[in-house]
């Protein structure tokens, strides 16, 4: 067994220090919050319910998102209630969905990650009153990567 630590040079603006949450899709957010709270001692922020316009490769669509972040940090858990027929589908049960990084310049981070070969999937659709707040990237070698605008990160975690 090789015990050598592998160091990969940093080539993007997405840094390990920006890692702030792990996203999990679940069939029933209330049941998951109750169970994980009791078993793991997690305190949850109130469930947010937002109708969001998403922009993915096949166009834009609206989706009602229900999610909550753990109060405990600095690394948070995010529970997302499954939405059938979308990337948030949880019909087969709970699953790891993404790892989330806070970034100061979301557009630049999206470009950096794409340049490194990790495909941009989509995220919330930017509008006149709402800039893009988050974006997902997909690789065959890792879970989804979610890049989150720092302003959104502060709002959803309370920190």
> Is the pTM above the cut of 0.75?
yes
CB 19 within 8 Å of CB 75: yes
In a domain, 105, yes or no: yes
Structurally, the chain folds into a number of domains equal to: 1
In a domain, 13, yes or no: no
In a domain, 2, yes or no: no
pLDDT-derived band at 157 (thresholds 50, 70, 90) equals confident
CB 139 within 8 Å of CB 119: yes
d(CA 99, CA 112): 17
Q: For residue 30, give its domain range.
A: 18-157
- Residue 83, judged by CB atoms within 10 A of its CB (0-12, 13-18, 19+), counts as middle
Q: What is the pLDDT of residues 104-155, one digit of tens each?
A: 999 999 999 998 889 999 999 887 776 789 999 998 888 999 999 988 888 8
In a domain, 34, yes or no: yes
Helices (H) and strands (E) in the chain, counts: 3, 8
In a domain, 3, yes or no: no
């Amino acid at each position: 067994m090789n015990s050598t630590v592998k160091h990969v040079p940093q080539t993007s603006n997405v840094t390990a220090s920006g890692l702030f949450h792990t996203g999990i899709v679940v069939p029933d957010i209330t049941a998951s919050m109750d169970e994980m709270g009791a078993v793991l001692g997690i305190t949850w922020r109130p469930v947010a319910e937002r109708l969001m316009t998403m922009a993915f490769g096949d166009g834009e669509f609206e989706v009602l998102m229900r999610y909550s972040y753990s109060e405990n940090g600095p690394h948070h858990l995010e529970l997302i209630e499954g939405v059938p027929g979308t990337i948030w589908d949880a019909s087969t049960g709970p699953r790891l969905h993404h790892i989330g990084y806070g970034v100061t310049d979301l557009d630049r981070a999206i470009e950096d990650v794409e340049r490194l070969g990790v495909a941009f999937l989509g995220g919330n659709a930017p509008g006149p009153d709402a800039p893009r707040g988050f974006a997902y990237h997909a690789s065959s070698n890792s879970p989804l990567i979610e890049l989150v605008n720092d302003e959104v990160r502060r709002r959803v975690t309370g920190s």
